[in-house]
Amino acid sequence: MKIVLLGYMASGKSSIGKRLSEVLDLNFIDLDTYIESCDKMSIKDIFKNKGEIYFRRQESIYLQEVLAQATDCVLSLGGGTPCYGNNTQLLNSTGYHTVYLRAGIATLVDRLTKEKQLRPLVAQLSSDQLTEYVAKHLFERAAFYEQAKQIISIDNKSVEEICKEIKLAL
Ligand code: S3P
């Protein structure tokens, strides 16, 4: 069984993916962590030292690498991974159960305000700018996320509830 979690920054892909992998007794792969360990640099430093275009190239190369190796697993993508090279379609057609963790703008802004420093795309934004940025960016990305086989609204749900919903759909 191969499951991929996708969605906007701070939608819970990593924490839900980790828990889901425990519940299903599967390997867990977090693409951002994989990139960081291969490049021996944090995502923040990759953006700072090499730029976003370099990051997108590495993200795509490492996704192919993970897909070529991965047996049954839960894979959490980065927020931008589905939006470059139409990766949601690729994952759907290669047998992955793709799940979009759909969060509302208020939830995302609230979480990102607390975790902004970890995310280079939003680290420099003020609170007012953050709301506008997330609304526009999510609108642009939604078409890629919504190609997932399963869509779950995650606002006000616990990690356990979300894992249960995913498990029921498998
Ligand atoms: C990004 C999301 C991040 C990380 C990078 C770019 C994006 O991952 O891959 O900062 O473009 O949305 P998370 O979604 O895990 O924060």
Q: Is 79 near ligand 1, meaning CB less than 6 Å away?
A: yes
What's the pTM? 0.96
The alpha carbon of 77 and the centre of ligand 1 are apart by a number of angstroms equal to: 8
> Which parts of the chain have pLDDT scores under 50?
none
Atom 15 of ligand 1, nearest CA residue:
78
CA of 168 to the centre of ligand 1 (A): 27
Run of H or E including 2? strand 2-6
Indicate the domain borders of the chain.
2-158
Would you state the pLDDT for residue 127?
86
| Topology of the domain comprising 2-158 | Rossmann fold (3.40.50)
ipTM of the shown complex: 0.98
Ligand 1 centre to CA of 118 (Å) is 9
Instruction: Write out the two tokens for 145.
Output: 């996320």
* H or E element, residue 60: helix 52-69
Helices and strands in the chain: count of H runs, count of E runs? 8, 5
Across the chain, what does the average pLDDT equal?
95
